Amino acid sequence: MTALPTGYELRTRMTVGTPPDGCTDCSVELSFDGYALRLRVLTGVPYCTLLRGDDVLLDVLYAFSFETPIDVLVVVNGPRVTVWLDGVRVASANDYRGGRPGGLGHAVRGTTGTVDPVEVTVLHDDPLPTAGPVDDEPGALLDHTVVAYVGNGDYRVEVGRARRGDGETVIAALRVTGVPLTTHLDARGREPCLGDWHLLGGDYGDRADLHSSPGARPLRFSAVEVPDDQTVVLRGREVEVTWSLAGPHPVATVAVTPETSGRHVVVFHGMAAAPDDDIAEVLCGALQHGRGVGGPESLGAFELPTPACLVESGGWTRGLFVPAAAHELADEMVKDPDDQPYGMSLRDRDGAVRPTVALPQYGRRACLEAGRTATFTVGLYARPGALHVAYRRLLREEYGYRAYRRNVFGCSLTDTMHNLVRLLRAAPDADDAVDYQPSPSGGGAGRRASSTSRTTRRCARRRRRCC
């Protein structure tokens, strides 16, 4: 069979039979266009895996039943491969390598299984795009001259012109009051690092790995302006970044004015990267905490209980957060992963741990018109101390969290409970043997107390008669 085009849909049904007793690894596999879609059960755990040769493009948990046909839809749109099972989008991956070998086939290992005849619908046969230069190593720093700085009581941002082997740019460095310069050297130890900016574009972006997106390039700034002693503006092609230190933490306002219409995402890697072994604690979403760092996937706003990604390392906590003023609603109930105002992750392009924010999250909000400016905001945190201290400080100072219950009359909630118990046990002062007497605890408590007191008197009278 000849090679498949660069855009097509593939439909079929796959059935995985019940594996024999003692089998720990069984699978049914559909091969197409140099790829292999595998439904696999390994030590009792079901997976859906997409491979190209020996390279795993995606590997996710997917529960399925034995002996039950599964509707399979694979959409190949240029470099993007998306897998749907039983009408549910399972995952997608990007692959920019050309020269795909053609052909369809299937294989069954360790069990019985079937693959129904495959239906292929051609979408297009456009040339494959190439990945952008996001992974290019910047030239070595040859010279760095500070031309301006702004600051507040805790931070100072210095801006200077830097001459590299591949050109000249403007870079910003972060200082924290009373801290040696070496604390803030970047991952390669060349210069003080405030962060790296990248601009991603094109229709084949992937939230599972932003750095695999085509049309990506590192941002270079060519001009600097200092409006006042707490604000500095960096200007570059299509992007303008304004750093403000008017508040307790540095805040960057990013204005994007694309030259062409399409999807555009600004990615900011905050401060220096660190290897996993140097990490004491992280926080990004509900699943990445403690020392549990996930992959490069960018989590949308609805997956972040706190709009921040923090890393504790070497006695310091560094990270990024979205300021409270940038949230349109106190709780933006938008659960669609394709409609998120921002995304966050803890991995950089080299796989090291580094706070990262995507503005906006790749999806519908990334569709920008040429010549129209979109504005986004991100804050930066860098202080000595544990992560939980930084977390508490952000919650109280930035988001206004507080103890909403206030004790009155010098009485705590525990004291109030004890007072209620004593009140319920209170009996009336007057004799209630004949007539009902109200109790301070209420009518019900008075009736219970009256019944108890009458029973006590009857017992006393009986004892006197017996004596």
Choice among 215-224, 242-251, 404-413, 421-430 with the minimum mean pLDDT:
404-413
Residues 382 and 441 in one domain: no
**pLDDT digit string (tens) for 444-467?**
444 444 444 455 555 545 554 554
Confidence of residue 166 (pLDDT cuts 50, 70, 90): low
Q: What is the pLDDT of residue 188?
A: 37
* Domain of residue 169, residue span: 133-398
- C-alpha dist (Å) from residue 55 to 35, 93, 135, 201, 454: 10, 12, 19, 25, 86
In this predicted structure, what is the pLDDT of residue 177? 73
Tell whether 1 is covered by a domain. no
- Residue 287 domain-assigned? yes
The pLDDT assigned to 445 comes to: 41
This prediction has a pTM of 0.65
Give dist(CA 106, CA 337) in Å, integer: 33
Q: Does residue 428 belong to any structural domain of this protein?
A: yes
The size of the chain, in residues, is 467
Last residue of a domain, one of 398, 433, 454: 398
- CA-nearest of 121, 132, 110, 107 to 204 is 132
Q: Mind giving me the DSSP string for 127-178?
A: PPP-B-GGGPPPPPEEEEEEEEEEE-SSEEEEEEEEEETTEEEEEEEEEETT
Better-predicted residue by pLDDT, 235 or 184:
235
- Mean pLDDT check: name the lowest of 77-81, 108-112, 136-140: 136-140
Structure token digits, residue 234:
């960096």
In a domain, 280, yes or no: yes
Residue 182: what pLDDT? 40
| Together in a domain, 377 and 356 | yes
pLDDT of residue 333: 58
**Percent of the chain predicted with pLDDT > 90:** 35
The answer to whether 222 touches 170, Cβ cutoff 8 Å, is yes
Residue 425 has pLDDT above 90, yes or no: no
Q: Which of 121-135, 249-263, 279-293, 366-380 has the lowest mean pLDDT?
A: 121-135
**118 and 79 in a common domain:** yes
Q: Are residues 160 and 265 in the same domain?
A: yes
Same domain flag for 120 and 173 = no
Residue finishing a domain among 89, 124, 159: 124
CB 358 within 8 A of CB 298: yes
- Find the CATH number of the domain harbouring 66: 2.60.120.200
Do residues 302 and 334 both lie within one domain?
A: yes
Mean pLDDT of the chain: 81
C-beta atoms surrounding 412 within 10 Å? 10
Q: Are residues 240 and 328 in the same domain?
A: yes
Q: What is the structure's pLDDT at 121? A: 92
Q: Which two tokens stand for residue 59?
A: 């590997």
pLDDT of residue 186: 42
237 or 351, greater pLDDT: 237
User: 335 and 455: one domain?
Assistant: no
pLDDT score for 448: 43
* Residue 362 pLDDT greater than 80, yes or no: yes
Q: Please, which pLDDT band fits residue 205 given cuts at 50, 70 and 90?
A: confident
Task: Check residues 225 and 191 and name the one with the higher pLDDT.
Answer: 225
Q: Which of 79, 107, 124 is the last residue of a domain?
A: 124
Structure tokens at 220: 């270079």
Query: What's the whole-number mean pLDDT along residues 37-57?
Result: 88
The verdict on 31 and 94 lying in the same domain is yes
298 with 431, same domain? Answer: no
Are residue 356 and residue 305 in the same domain, yes or no? yes
Residue 241 above 80 pLDDT? yes
Q: Is pLDDT at 283 greater than 60 in this prediction?
A: yes
Does residue 406 sit within a domain?
no
Domain tally, the chain: 3
Q: Are residues 139 and 274 in the same domain?
A: yes
Q: What is the pLDDT of residue 179?
A: 64
